[in-house]
């Protein structure tokens, strides 16, 4: 059995994906704005969690290898945290890392 892997369409950068999927223009615009807001909010939350981890590493004068051992991750993962590579982490992973250093995360809504 042959699996179809042919690319039939590529959405251009900056294009409204929802419009291309066939949503009405007003609905597509609303969905794109909501999507961008959600992505922005998620990135901000990840940055805050990473800032907390980076500050802890700096305050304890840890080398990345030592921090990695304590956090139970690889040294490159610590580097990704310190360099704020938000796309490489889920919020869950960052929360778990903070928990391992005795900094439980509390959620406040509003």
CATH code of the domain occupying 17-100: 1.10.260.40
Q: Is pLDDT above 90 for 41?
A: yes
Q: Measured between alpha carbons, how far is 96 from 104 in angstroms, rounded to an integer? A: 8
Q: Is pLDDT above 90 for 107?
A: no
The whole-number pLDDT of residue 9 equals: 82
Domain spans of the chain?
17-100
The predicted model scores a pTM of 0.79
Write out pLDDT tens, residues 49-104: 999 999 999 999 999 999 999 999 999 999 999 999 999 999 999 999 999 999 99
The whole-number pLDDT of residue 11 equals: 85
> Residue 105 — pLDDT band, cuts 50, 70, 90?
very high
> Residue 110 — pLDDT band, cuts 50, 70, 90?
confident
* Crossing angle (nearest 10°) for helices 75-82 and 64-71: 110
């Amino acid at each position: 059995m042959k699996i179809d892997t042919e690319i039939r369409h590529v959405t251009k950068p900056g294009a409204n994906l929802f419009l291309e999927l066939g949503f009405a223009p007003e609905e597509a615009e609303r969905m794109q704005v909501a999507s961008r807001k959600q992505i922005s909010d998620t990135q901000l939350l990840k940055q805050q969690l990473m800032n907390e981890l980076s500050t802890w590493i700096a305050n304890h004068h840890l080398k990345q290898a030592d921090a990695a051992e304590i956090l139970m991750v690889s040294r490159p993962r610590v580097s990704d945290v310190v360099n704020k590579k938000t796309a490489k982490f889920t919020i869950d992973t960052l929360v778990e890392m903070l928990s391992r250093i005795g900094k439980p995360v509390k959620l406040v809504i509003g």
